[in-house]
Structure 1
Amino acid sequence: MRSNYLFTSESVSEGHPDKVADQISDAVVDLFLSRDPVARVACETMVTTQRIVLAGEVRCSQDVFPTLDEIEKVARDTVKKIGYEQHGFHWQTAEFACHLHGQSAHIAQGVDESGNKDEGAGDQGIMFGFACDETPDLMPATLYYSHRILEKLAQDRHANVVDFLEPDAKSQVTLKYENGRPTGATALVVSTQHSKALSSDAGQKQLRDYAMTVFEDVLPQGWMPADQSQIYVNPTGLFEIGGPDGDAGLTGRKIIVDTYGGAAPHGGGAFSGKDPTKVDRSAAYISRYLAKNIVAAGLAKRCTIQLSYAIGVAEPLSLYVDTHGTGTVEESKIEAVLPKLVRLTPKGIRTHLGMNKAIYLPTAAYGHFGRKAEGDLFTWEKTDLVDALKAELA
């Protein structure tokens, strides 16, 4: 690994078109799981000017199957909560179309548990988990601060601390690393949709002044770029037309924002809109859980884990651990221990993390990882394997 370098990650707000789509898809997942904990959902959403379109496959007990009106309501409520009441995209007046249909019986026969057959993976694929000791949440610092900037904008908008912000926004943070540790920002970017009240030069200055206070509030003391010209606030100019009216949004187009900001590999599968039988989601969550516990246990400063699956097959095809030269024990020994602590089948993962619940909408903005485990939410962020790992390996 290089010791001295610059690295950048980006984030997007809850009002970014792709994130609007992700949140609607996960609201649908939660609706079905709230009715039937073994429901199957693969929901894709497209949003554009005054239009919301759902498509995909579902399965649910018929006596509790959500009605079309109920599905439409959760979609509209999600958009309302985000804050879209614009001429070009309004939670109440946007056209809504639902093209969800039944899950393929051929997929079901391979995935479902029956007789002596354990439940199989919902698809083939590779999934990665990652953790590092750059932040208290054991996340890459570049992504951590990119998320925090946009969360602060959203908090101020919802609380009416400022009255000129609209929901769509993006951020980007470039940090300088010395001896492998982040030491400060060399460039910061935020682009945020705003009201027409800020269309003048004075309004744009007001926006920049506000953004500077956000940067200073979020970043550690002394981390602001020394070169103020490397702080970019709405660098293209006015940003009045935004959200799905400015750019169509689709589920699953922000997978790097959702995970590790480019600091770790990604298997390629999106998370939002998928029930936890889909290993794209559940195996990525358990991989993060295992990597985080390894770092939290002091067994490594940096850890990447890969799992792979075949559709219809319960056990993973491979388990790979890489501590990037920072480990205190051999990776092969960690690989031998992990399956003893957590059964890495789809059912085993869901049981261990309590995933057959309506817990997914909160994951769909500001990252699936690096969040606070609270009750049933973000259970994959717990570090409750630390003692067991130490007992086995330390």
Structure 2
Amino acid sequence: MKSQSTFLFTSESVGEGHPDKICDQVADALLDECLKQNPLSKVAIEVAVRPGLVIVFGVVHFISRLDVDAIVRLVLKDIGYVCPDQELDYRTCEIMDCVDLHPSLFNGNGIPSGLEAPANEPAGDQGMAFGYATDETAQLLPLTLDLAHKISRDLKAAQASGMLPWLRPDTKAQVTVEYVEDQGRMVPTRVHNVVITAQHTPDVSIERLRQEILDNVVRKSIPAKYLDDRTEYHIQPTGDVGVSPSGKFAGVTGRKIVVDTYGGWGAHGGGAFSGKDFRQVDRSAAYMARWIAKSLVHHGLANRCLIQLSYSIGIAEPLSIFIDTFRTSKLTSDQLKEIICKNFDLRPAAIAKDLNLINPIYYQTAKNGHFTNKEFPWEQPFDLVL
């Protein structure tokens, strides 16, 4: 009988007010506005922030207007940048609109605007995308990431409700879990440590901040069965570094791709998500790969599953499909690939249709991971035909 191995693994989450996450949310809010005007608009938007300044740049095809200033301010207000003494104030910050609009009805391939993309519309670029699922949580996500995101959401809720009124939107959470590896399965046993850093107003003491975050967030976010007297808590570990404004504030889109996906588990294709329409397989194929992996695990075909899809610009069908179930499936990779090809159309336009990717659904994806909300289409397991 093989012996089991024990190890530690860590995942991170960031709050909605983290500067990189601000950029992701602004980019996806602008993408949503483009899709409201034309579901087949072609969008590539990037965002950068620093104290007092938001810069938006990129290229958008098939729409004639985009009120960048208004949308940026709405996003900042929603996140919670509403005070003059914060790094950004939605009312007064400077916004640079450097987006090029090309309202032509046709792109270089002669593809018209409309309500449905042509079935064989090719991928907009080469690239590879990964999807991952594991049965260690109900959401079929790694426990490390699931708990880190829950802490981030609960920090935001505690601030919004007035429970922790001194919190500011820029927060970071990190969770380390002790696992036992059992024949390919990752079985979580306990939380080893929790790390939290949060911006706050200067009127709260570090002692009060640490205790109230521990009592009102951490111990409510993490199920008691995973906590014990050996669990370590590092809350604001360097003292008042979190006072807002901090003097350390800069962000760009796409710098939190591991937070967006699986917290370091599985793999990542390298491409960021936010600000891109479905033609960019960095995003659409990653959603499809997650849908496939989650469906296979949901139906008991594996306990863990990693899927890779690769594409070429100008070609609709994927160039390759890779499957790894980490020795947790009774089926071979070829058998699983046959099930995938029978149930899923992997062309970008078909992915967009099956997952509603021409609809303005993206702003919410940029908040607490792209695979954490069961309402997202790719988070609803497909009823496989075996």
TM-score norm. by structure 2 comes to 0.92
- 1:201-240 equivalences in 2 (<5 Å): 203-213=205-215, 214-227=217-230, 230-240=232-242
Whether contact under 8 Å (1:289, 1:380) holds in the other structure is: yes
Whether contact under 8 Å (1:112, 1:120) holds in the other structure is: no
Match of 2:303 among 301, 304, 307: 301
- Per the TM alignment, residue 350 of structure 1 is displaced from its structure 2 partner at its CA by 0.5
Whether contact under 8 Å (2:20, 2:254) holds in the other structure is: yes
What SS class does the counterpart of residue 4 from structure 1 fall into? strand
What SS class does the counterpart of residue 99 from structure 1 fall into? strand
What SS class does the counterpart of residue 195 from structure 2 fall into? strand
- Per the TM alignment, residue 225 of structure 1 is displaced from its structure 2 partner at its CA by 4.8
**Equivalent position of 1:311 in the other structure:** 313
Stretches of structure 1 lacking an aligned partner (at least 5 in a row): none
**Equivalent position of 1:92 in the other structure:** 91
- Per the TM alignment, residue 310 of structure 1 is displaced from its structure 2 partner at its CA by 0.6
What SS class does the counterpart of residue 206 from structure 1 fall into? helix
Stretches of structure 2 lacking an aligned partner (at least 5 in a row): none
The reply to whether residue 76 of structure 1 matches residue 73 of structure 2 is yes
What SS class does the counterpart of residue 85 from structure 1 fall into? coil
**Equivalent position of 1:383 in the other structure:** 381
- Per the TM alignment, residue 222 of structure 1 is displaced from its structure 2 partner at its CA by 3.0
Task: Classify 1:6/1:47 alpha carbon distance in 2 versus 1 (closer, same or farther; 3 Å).
Answer: same
What SS class does the counterpart of residue 41 from structure 1 fall into? strand
**Equivalent position of 1:344 in the other structure:** 346
Whether contact under 8 Å (1:300, 1:323) holds in the other structure is: yes
- Tell me how far apart the structure 2 counterparts of residues 261 and 184 of structure 1 sit (CA, whole Å): 17
Task: Classify 1:157/1:197 alpha carbon distance in 2 versus 1 (closer, same or farther; 3 Å).
Answer: same
- Larger mean Cα displacement after TM superposition, 244-253 or 165-174: 244-253
- Per the TM alignment, residue 264 of structure 1 is displaced from its structure 2 partner at its CA by 1.0
1:285-329: per-residue Cα shift (whole Å, max 9, x none)?
Answer: 000000000000000000000000011211100011111100121
- Tell me how far apart the structure 2 counterparts of residues 152 and 111 of structure 1 sit (CA, whole Å): 47
- Tell me how far apart the structure 1 counterparts of residues 131 and 107 of structure 2 sit (CA, whole Å): 27
- Per the TM alignment, residue 60 of structure 1 is displaced from its structure 2 partner at its CA by 2.0
Task: Classify 1:95/1:61 alpha carbon distance in 2 versus 1 (closer, same or farther; 3 Å).
Answer: closer
**Equivalent position of 2:135 in the other structure:** 133
1:126-173: per-residue Cα shift (whole Å, max 9, x none)?
Answer: 100000001000000000000000100001111212211000000100
- Per the TM alignment, residue 240 of structure 1 is displaced from its structure 2 partner at its CA by 4.2
- Per the TM alignment, residue 218 of structure 1 is displaced from its structure 2 partner at its CA by 1.2
Whether contact under 8 Å (1:48, 1:244) holds in the other structure is: no
- Tell me how far apart the structure 2 counterparts of residues 84 and 349 of structure 1 sit (CA, whole Å): 35
Whether contact under 8 Å (2:44, 2:59) holds in the other structure is: yes
Task: Classify 1:191/1:244 alpha carbon distance in 2 versus 1 (closer, same or farther; 3 Å).
Answer: closer
Task: Classify 1:118/1:244 alpha carbon distance in 2 versus 1 (closer, same or farther; 3 Å).
Answer: farther
- Per the TM alignment, residue 243 of structure 1 is displaced from its structure 2 partner at its CA by 7.2
One-letter amino acid of the structure 1 residue matched with residue 187 of structure 2: R
- Tell me how far apart the structure 2 counterparts of residues 269 and 122 of structure 1 sit (CA, whole Å): 13
Match of 2:19 among 17, 20, 23: 17
What SS class does the counterpart of residue 173 from structure 2 fall into? strand
- Tell me how far apart the structure 1 counterparts of residues 195 and 69 of structure 2 sit (CA, whole Å): 35
- Per the TM alignment, residue 239 of structure 1 is displaced from its structure 2 partner at its CA by 3.2
- Per the TM alignment, residue 362 of structure 1 is displaced from its structure 2 partner at its CA by 0.2
Whether contact under 8 Å (1:46, 1:250) holds in the other structure is: yes
What SS class does the counterpart of residue 78 from structure 1 fall into? helix
What SS class does the counterpart of residue 312 from structure 1 fall into? coil
Whether contact under 8 Å (2:61, 2:103) holds in the other structure is: no
Whether contact under 8 Å (1:172, 1:189) holds in the other structure is: yes
- Tell me how far apart the structure 2 counterparts of residues 330 and 122 of structure 1 sit (CA, whole Å): 32
TM-score norm. by structure 1 comes to 0.90
The reply to whether residue 284 of structure 1 matches residue 282 of structure 2 is no
The reply to whether residue 193 of structure 1 matches residue 199 of structure 2 is yes
What SS class does the counterpart of residue 49 from structure 2 fall into? strand
Match of 1:362 among 361, 364, 370: 364
- Tell me how far apart the structure 2 counterparts of residues 216 and 240 of structure 1 sit (CA, whole Å): 21
- Tell me how far apart the structure 2 counterparts of residues 293 and 223 of structure 1 sit (CA, whole Å): 27
- Tell me how far apart the structure 2 counterparts of residues 116 and 153 of structure 1 sit (CA, whole Å): 43
Q: Among the aligned pairs, what percent are the same residue?
A: 39
- Tell me how far apart the structure 2 counterparts of residues 152 and 336 of structure 1 sit (CA, whole Å): 41
RMSD, aligned CA: 2.3
Whether contact under 8 Å (1:4, 1:177) holds in the other structure is: yes
**Equivalent position of 1:181 in the other structure:** 187
- Tell me how far apart the structure 1 counterparts of residues 246 and 277 of structure 2 sit (CA, whole Å): 25
Q: Which has the higher helix share?
A: 1
Aligned length: 373
**Equivalent position of 2:29 in the other structure:** 27
- Per the TM alignment, residue 47 of structure 1 is displaced from its structure 2 partner at its CA by 0.7
What SS class does the counterpart of residue 286 from structure 1 fall into? helix
- Per the TM alignment, residue 365 of structure 1 is displaced from its structure 2 partner at its CA by 1.4
